[in-house]
Structure 1
């Protein structure tokens, strides 16, 4: 019997971690640390490393949501709505000096929206939608580009094969371990070897592929509202502190 409080009772649709409220909480804490560090403490890359947990966990939770939602259009609609709401806060938080120039630098909710739309098209064999969404996210200025689609495809296709999914997930981030650009201030340098900060996403692997059961209950709207709210807070702090 499925004892996880995040997912409806019955046979699970995935053999990976269904403790999604716990995962989302980890993700938003990681994201907050990443964004605060990037704006106020850019000289300390540890903030950005910790922040690499957020995106893959969000992608995973979106994949779980796609499989369990009773209405994919409403699900996508919520993502799209908060993407639009968050955009001005995103610009004010990270690029207040060039508002007009960043109107089409899309925030992460747009990336998640297009990525989910693409993978849903793949799931439903709507190949035109899958390809179109992939091209949109690859050619326009979206955070993380098509990485979200790749991750969601791994999570979806390996939903019953967690070992294979974990291996493919690890392979996605292996280049960061061996092919980091020298001189990047966000690199971790060990014995003269550069490790790209994207490698921090590997620490999300056990959270996604191993089971937890915290029984954590958090209203779903909290996770949606947190994104624009924390961006608004960062923008306000920037203004008050003169950053």
Structure 2
């Protein structure tokens, strides 16, 4: 039944990996616009509402739009990035370079991330040059790749093993996911253990888009305790439309650089104009 559903999906799958990356980047940009310059603007509007220069209804209507719509659109990005990371791990020709690049850009992105999202960026506040209480999402993706490396190693070792050894291998894989998830939590990485679990789930069920999406939604409910909201369902729908192709143009490092650069630009805009 699952195979039949996957086959039917092929008739409507229209998004390449590059196109999904663009959608994810756009959603992330909207999210960060709302959290960096717009948040500073909202602080000013709040002061104006206290002074009676704008009504409380106007302020709270804009605040609801920021939190319910803009933040919601932003949540579409992370599942897409997790999915594409698992796909990239499968098809990359150089695993070491892929993992190394993720770590390098995690380090490069940390200062722009700290400056953009943590206003008390100073030596006195313990946030300079790095704010160790929270790490950017590239560290989560890096740990996700470390997790996938471990899962693959166990899978290869147990490929021709008997049932007992395969059961041990399965438990070992669960242990790897748990250890890396704990590391993500201890390091205070963005999305933490949830991100590692999503990445592992997309990789484990890589042979079926339907199973990937079903497991993503199940894992979302398991890790949050909530029903998937509208924007999470949109992310799941986009994943179903992935056609398994990377796309014609190569712009891997463009996507890497986009993260730290756009955060820094938004921070500068917030400081200069708001």
Per the normalisation by structure 2, the TM-score is: 0.69
Equivalent residues in 2 for 1:153-232 (5 A)? 153-174=200-221, 179=226, 200-212=231-243, 215=247, 217-232=249-264
Residues 135-177 of structure 1, C-alpha deviations (whole Å, 9 max, x = no match): 2112231110111221112211111122222211122334799
* 2: CA distance, partners of 1:151 / 1:107: 17
Counterpart CA distance in 1 for 2:151 and 2:14 is 22
Moved over 6 A (4+): 15-18, 175-178
69 and 223 in structure 1: CA distance in 2 versus 1, 3 angstrom threshold: same
The answer to whether the 8 A contact 2:116-2:264 is kept is: yes
CA distance, structure 1, for counterparts of residue 104 and residue 203 of structure 2:
24
Structure 1 spans left out of the alignment, 5+ residues: 1-14, 180-194
CA contact (8 A) 2:140 2:189 kept: yes
CA deviation profile, 1:196-225 (whole Å, cap 9, x unmatched): 8x6522211121122357945242111011
**Quick one: which of 141, 146, 151 aligns to 1:112?**
141
141 and 168 in structure 1: CA distance in 2 versus 1, 3 angstrom threshold:
same
Q: CA distance change for structure 1 residues 171 and 158 in 2, over 3 Å: closer, same or farther?
A: same
Go from structure 1 to structure 2 and tell me whether the alpha carbon gap of 1:80 and 1:176 turns closer, same or farther (over 3 Å shift). closer
Partner of 1:146, secondary structure, is helix
| 1:124 lines up with 2:149 in the alignment | no
Instruction: Give the corresponding residue for 1:24.
Output: 21
The Cα shift of 1:18 comes to 7.3
Q: Which runs of 5+ in 2 are unaligned?
A: 1-9, 40-62, 155-171
For residues 148 and 177 of structure 1, the distance between their equivalents in structure 2, rounded to whole angstroms, comes to 12
Instruction: Give the distance between the partners of 2:272 and 2:78, measured in 1 at CA.
Output: 29
Matched, 1:51 2:74: yes
User: In the alignment, what sits opposite 1:40?
Assistant: 37
Tell me, yes or no, if the aligned pair for 1:85 and 1:228 is still in contact at 8 Å. yes
TM-score (norm 1): 0.77
1:192 equivalent in structure 2: none
Count of residue pairs the alignment pairs up? 212
Counterpart check, 1:237 vs 2:260: no
Q: Where does residue 143 of structure 1 map in the other structure?
A: 190
Contact 1:173/1:199 (8 A) holds in 2:
no
- State the distance in 1 between where 2:264 and 2:191 align: 22
